[in-house]
Amino acid sequence: MSREAATTDVMRLSRDTFALPAATLARRLLGCRLVRTLPDGSRMAGLIVETEAYVGVRDRASHAFGGRRTPRNESMYGEPGTCYVYFTYGMHHCVNVVCSRRDDPQAVLLRALEPVEGVEVIRARRGGKPPGSCCNGPGKLCEAMAIDRSLDGIDLAAGETLWIEDREGGEPPVSTAARVGIGDKGVWTRRRLRWFVRGHPHVSVARD
Partner DNA sequence: ATGACGATTTACT
Partner DNA sequence: GTAAATCGTCATA
Residues at the site binding DNA, with contacts judged by CB under 7 A: 52, 54, 61-64, 68, 70-73, 76, 84, 87-92, 94, 96, 107, 109, 126, 129, 133, 137-141, 149, 179-183, 204
CA distance linking residue 38 with residue 177, whole number of Å: 34
- State which residue, 12 or 72, has the beta carbon closest to DNA: 72
User: Which amino acid appears at position 114 of this protein?
Assistant: E
- At its nearest, how many Å lie between DNA and the CB of residue 112? 8
- At its nearest, how many Å lie between DNA and the CB of residue 146? 15
Kindly report the length of the chain: 208
- State which residue, 78 or 181, has the beta carbon closest to DNA: 181
Burial category of 103 from C-beta neighbours within 10 Å (exposed 0-12, middle 13-18, buried 19 and up): exposed
- At its nearest, how many Å lie between DNA and the CB of residue 204? 6
- At its nearest, how many Å lie between DNA and the CB of residue 84? 7
**Around Cβ 140, how many Cβ atoms within 10 Å?**
19
- State which residue, 118 or 137, has the beta carbon closest to DNA: 137
Nearest of 148, 67, 156, 140 to residue 106 by alpha carbon: 67
Residues 152, 138, 83: CA angle, nearest 5 degrees: 20
- State which residue, 183 or 186, has the beta carbon closest to DNA: 183
